[in-house]
Amino acid sequence: MVGTKNRCLMSRKSPSTAQKSTLKHRHPLKLKSLPRWLSILLVVIYVVTGIFQPIVLDLISRMGGAEKQAFLFPIPNSMGMALLMAIPTRKSHYSRRASLYKFPKEIIVMTLIDVSATTLTLFGQLMIGSGLYIIVYSSLTIWSAIGSLLLLKRHFTWPMWMGVVVVTIGLMISGVGAFTTFGLSTLIGMAVTLVGTILHSGVYWVSEYFCLHKEYPIHSTFLAGYMGIFGVAIFLSYVTGYTIPRWEALFVQPMEAGGGSYWKILSTYLLLILIDWAHLYAQFTAVVAVGSVIVGINKAISSIGVFVLSHFLFCEVDSSECIDLFKILSLCFVISGVIIYTTAYHYYKKKQNRLQGSQKSPQEDTLIDQLPSSETPPLSLE
């Protein structure tokens, strides 16, 4: 989840007369950028952790530690989000505590969307394996764009639509391949993953919708942190009420059948929490600065990494993880579509910024620069 500042600033209404007089006495906030070497390192961490997130969950599942009914598998993702609260933030209009009381609707709605999306996407992965999962989940950027089009009335250029069409073709190829090779159950698993992916895209464009209606929106790291905290609370409530009374059937027996142990499964879950946190930390601190094209390329690299690694690690024990022609074609289409879309969006955004810059007076530019720039507004992929 990545926050973007400019989009929310541009969406705010023009300052009133009172605001203008107040802004005259403010100074622009000077934000210290990261050293180049650190930015590059964090982007590399983002890509590497993106590869290992689904792979590590697959390992836990094969050790018997991710029984679907036990609902232990979504907890690391929410824990990683909750730990974002530890990230030092740029100056925010509202403190962590004040944000909880100021934005209860936003936090509750976003938590419910994220919990539903996480449950469905990871449940789907456990049904189909990380190789097919990453093909479907790679379409997240496109669904986020379509959500912005429908809810926020965003404009799409024809190259953006071409990216959407290419991704759709890729998903259709993977669906046909899964059905003909592995049968109806795998196709259902892909459908579950797709619904979860579409819901997950809602995390981005719904948060942006909330941002557009607030002069001072909740800081994105605070929003993500509270989503993680309440997500953990929801999942632990289920585990306490349903899983623990059935611990023998939902954990011990699958663990023994999978050849795992308490120590192996616990340590791997802790590793997954660390990976999830590092992935999100890299997003919030560095990936936000590199632009939508690089983000799209990074996602493509992560997808290829998962695709190849799952084949070498799991193909011998699970044929659904093996690379075949359908998977190769599908992944190529999905990744190409995402890169086409993100590149088209990048050039469209640059063009719009040039047009807006030429229409503004120097006085308006100064006023916008002097608006409080602390809120990293919406959770966004761009």
Tens of pLDDT, residues 225-237:
999 999 999 999 9
Residue 257: the pLDDT is 94
pLDDT above 90: percentage of residues in the chain? 32
Average pLDDT over residues 3-32: 41
Q: Which of 2-16, 143-157, 190-204, 298-312 has the lowest mean pLDDT?
A: 2-16
Query: Which of residues 280 and 23 earns the better pLDDT score?
Result: 280
Mean pLDDT of the chain: 80
Average pLDDT over residues 330-345: 86
Q: How confident is the model at residue 31 (pLDDT cuts 50, 70, 90)?
A: very low
* pTM (predicted TM-score): 0.78
Phi, psi of 153 (to 5 degrees): 60, 40
Average pLDDT over residues 331-359: 83
Pairing of strands 2-3, 379-380: antiparallel
Q: Which of 53, 197, 238 is nearest to 113 (CA)?
A: 197
What region, left, alpha or beta, does residue 129 occupy, with left being phi > 0 and alpha being psi -120 to 50 degrees?
left
Q: How confident is the model at residue 240 (pLDDT cuts 50, 70, 90)?
A: very high
The β-bridge partners of 3 are 379
β strands within the chain, DSSP E: 2-3, 379-380
Average pLDDT over residues 135-148: 84
Q: Which of 88-92, 246-250, 374-378 has the lowest mean pLDDT?
A: 374-378
